[in-house]
Every structure is written in C-alpha cells, then in structure tokens.
C-alpha cells in the first residue's frame, strides 16, 4: 500500500515536471512562470530530480523531433498553451513534439530570455540556484557550507578527489574543514581544500579564486598552484595569470551586503549592478564604459548607485518599462 502511494506520488511529480517543460517551451513563458518553477523545484529533492530528468529526456529527443517535422510539417501544429497557476495538467503528445521541434528550429524565450530578464531552462535545472539579488546558505555537511551570491548556479558533483560541487555560474564562498579534500569545479579548473575559506567567482569565461583563510590547491590543465591567505588567482581555458595579493574583507564584502569598486571600468560596474538589480541597465556609450570608477554602495541600493553614477560621472539615464534603464 505504501509502495503504491510512493509510486503514485512520483508519477504525479513527474507529470507536473512534464507540464512545466511544455509551459516553458511554449514561447509564452513569463518571469512569473520562471519564479513559480523555481519554487516548485525547491519543494523537495524529488521535485528537483524530476525536473532534471524531464529536461534531459526531452533535450535528447529534439534532433529526432526536428527531423520528424521536416518530413511531416503538420506534426508541428502548436496547441494553444493553457495558462495555469500550477502545473496540474499533462500536455498531449502533439504539444510535446511541437515544443521540441520549435526549439530546434527557432530560439525560444525559455532558453534565451531577452536581456536575461528571467532564468533560462538550463539555469532552472541546477541542483541549487539563486535569483537576482538573492543570497543563499547551503550546508552540504557538518564540515562544508557554501554561501551562494546572486545569480549563482551550482550542482553537486562526486569525483576521484572526493565529493564537491560544480560552480556552473555566479559566485560562492566555501567554508571547508574536513580531513578529506573538498572539490570545487569551475570552468577549466579544479580547486581542492581541506581546511580553508575561499571565494570563487565564475561570471564569464574567467574564474577568479580568492583564498580568505587556509590554503587552496588549484589544478588547471596539468598545472598545480597553491593559494595561501590573501592571494587571488584568475584563470580560463588558456591558463592562469600570476597570483596577486587582495584584501579578504573586500572580496567577501558582498556577504555583508556591500559592493566596493576601486578604479574599476564603469562597464564592469554596470555588469555587477545587473547581477543584483531586477531588469537590465544597458550601457550605450563605450567610451564612458572604460572610465575608471570608485564607488561603494549597498546591494539593495542599486538604483541609488545609478543616481550616483549620473551625478558623479555625467551619465544620462532613460527609464523604460520592465526596469530597463538606458545609460549614455
């Protein structure tokens, strides 16, 4: 009886995951839909696992579906998606085929949201993620905890060196204190630490590792580096730069709700503001973007920061619907 109830519960969750997939592939997904899916995935490990399984299965079917529609265009007739507050329906076969095919032929909002205004399907498939302006503490064990910064995605990962995480994108501070090494995979590198506190930032092609306490081993394409407290290393797929000294307090300022910039190009400041602010700030003046900036402001005061930039550096701000701001 209990096994039957478990099977029914699993089937229900899988059906809901299927419905979410169809909804996000409909081309009419909204930011509210993306947030609702994030909350649905966070209900339990079973919900998150069901979403990953559905995503993997349908992505694998996309090439075959595309070939099927090329042979029979009528198979891609799109059904009108139902607008529901919660995924309580199971889309039919035609809706699934249409969704998979359309994704192969065109770019859907669910996979490439305009201006990054809401999370993509790939982002929502992560084991752990944070939204814009959100921070999250994750205790992986009694010895390891991870503080996730805004717009961060990470997956649990097991490897030869021991258990760890993959930092897919974003920023995190890891506190490790165990006999076995804890591994962090980011970009082309692997970081190992037994007793250390370190910050890892992966917001583009480069990865920035800052050792705040203890030591961190960095393995990159056959190279091995050891970072001690107060040292920072930047690397990408081509290799690593020389380690430089940094102020640990400045590196982890985001944990206390502050952002600090010292002689940083304005374009990089805007990129950072976009990580914490809903909507998008679009810098339209490349020359202004190269201007060095010195600023400090609270994470929850990003609009105040834009006003500061206008007053201090002569920028012109044009507000548009959807929290979009043009800066020139």
- Can you give the CATH number for the domain in which 284 is found? 3.55.50.30
Q: Are residues 167 and 104 in the same domain?
A: no
Which CATH number is 203's domain given?
Answer: 2.60.120.1440
Phi, psi of 71 (to 5 degrees): -80, -30
For residue 17, is it within any domain?
yes
Angle between helices 2-24 and 45-71 (to 10 degrees): 50
Q: Are residues 142 and 104 in the same domain?
A: no
Q: Distance (Å, rounded) from C-alpha 287 to C-alpha 307?
A: 19
What region does 149 belong to: left with phi over 0, alpha with psi -120 to 50, or beta? beta
Digits of tens for pLDDT over the chain (328 positions)? 444 455 567 667 877 887 777 777 665 667 777 888 888 888 888 888 888 877 776 666 555 545 544 554 443 433 333 333 444 433 344 444 444 444 443 344 555 555 555 565 556 668 899 988 999 999 999 999 999 999 999 999 876 656 799 999 999 999 999 778 999 999 999 999 999 999 999 998 899 999 999 999 999 988 899 999 999 999 999 999 999 999 999 899 999 999 999 899 999 999 999 999 988 999 999 999 999 999 999 999 999 999 999 999 999 999 988 788 999 9
For residue 131, is it within any domain?
no
Residue where a domain stops, chosen among 204, 235, 251: 251
For residue 213, is it within any domain?
yes
For residue 202, is it within any domain?
yes
Q: Are residues 66 and 140 in the same domain?
A: no
Q: Distance (Å, rounded) from C-alpha 149 to C-alpha 138?
A: 11
Q: Distance (Å, rounded) from C-alpha 306 to C-alpha 270?
A: 9
Task: Determine how many CB atoms are found less than 10 A away from the CB of residue 79.
Answer: 14
Give the burial string for 98-113 (b: 16+ CB within 10 Å, else e): bbbbbbeeeebbbeeb
Task: Reduce the DSSP state of residue 203 to 3 states and report it.
Answer: coil
Q: Are residues 91 and 47 in the same domain?
A: yes
Q: Are residues 81 and 108 in the same domain?
A: yes
Residue 182 contacts residue 164 (beta carbons within 8 Å) = yes
Q: Are residues 31 and 69 in the same domain?
A: yes
Q: Distance (Å, rounded) from C-alpha 30 to C-alpha 28?
A: 6
Residue with tokens 């985001």: 254
Q: Are residues 218 and 286 in the same domain?
A: no
Residue where a domain stops, chosen among 91, 125, 159: 125
Q: Are residues 278 and 247 in the same domain?
A: no
Q: Are residues 299 and 196 in the same domain?
A: no
For residue 150, is it within any domain?
yes
What total number of domains does the chain contain? 3
Q: Are residues 115 and 11 in the same domain?
A: yes
Range of the domain at 39: 2-125
For residue 24, is it within any domain?
yes
Residue where a domain stops, chosen among 251, 281, 315: 251
For residue 281, is it within any domain?
yes
For residue 130, is it within any domain?
no
Task: Reduce the DSSP state of residue 65 to 3 states and report it.
Answer: helix
Task: Reduce the DSSP state of residue 322 to 3 states and report it.
Answer: helix
Q: Looking at residue 205, what DSSP letter applies?
A: S
Mode of pairing for the β-strands spanning 324-327 and 136-139: unpaired
**Residue (of 177, 179, 157, 175) closest to 166 by Cα position:** 157
Q: Are residues 245 and 288 in the same domain?
A: no
**Residue (of 312, 319, 272, 304) closest to 288 by Cα position:** 312
In this structure, what token pair is assigned to residue 14?
A: 């899988």
């Amino acid at each position: 009886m209990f096994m039957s109830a478990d099977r029914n519960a699993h089937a229900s969750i899988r059906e809901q995951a299927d419905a979410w997939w169809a909804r996000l592939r409909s081309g009419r997904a909204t930011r509210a839909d993306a947030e609702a899916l994030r909350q649905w995935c966070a209900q339990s490990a079973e919900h998150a696992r069901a979403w990953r399984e559905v995503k993997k299965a349908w992505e694998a079917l996309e090439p075959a579906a595309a070939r099927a529609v090329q042979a029979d265009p009528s198979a891609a007739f799109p059904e009108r998606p139902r607008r529901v507050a919660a995924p309580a329906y199971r889309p039919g076969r035609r809706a699934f085929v249409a969704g998979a095919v359309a994704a192969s032929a065109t770019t859907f909002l669910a996979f490439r949201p305009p201006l990054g205004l809401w999370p993509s399907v790939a982002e929502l498939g992560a084991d752990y993620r944070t939204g814009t302006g959100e921070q999250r503490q994750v205790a992986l064990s009694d010895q390891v905890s991870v503080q996730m910064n805004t717009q961060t995605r990470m997956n649990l990962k097991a490897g030869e060196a021991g258990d760890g995480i993959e930092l897919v994108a974003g920023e995190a501070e890891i506190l490790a204190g165990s006999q076995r090494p804890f591994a962090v995979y980011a970009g082309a590198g692997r970081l190992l630490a037994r007793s250390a506190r370190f910050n890892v930032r992966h917001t583009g092609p480069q990865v920035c590792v800052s050792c705040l306490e203890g030591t961190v081993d960095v393995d990159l394409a056959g190279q091995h580096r050891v970072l001690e407290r107060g040292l920072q290393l930047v690397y990408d797929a081509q290799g690593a730069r020389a380690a430089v000294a940094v102020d640990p307090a400045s590196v982890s300022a985001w944990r206390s709700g502050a952002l600090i910039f010292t002689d940083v190009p304005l374009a990089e400041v805007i990129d950072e503001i976009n990580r914490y602010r809903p909507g998008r700030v679009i810098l339209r003046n490349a020359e202004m973007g190269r201007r060095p900036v010195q600023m400090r402001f609270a994470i929850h005061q990003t609009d105040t920061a834009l006003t500061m930039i206008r007053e201090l550096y002569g920028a012109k701000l044009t507000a548009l619907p959807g929290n979009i701001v043009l800066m020139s």
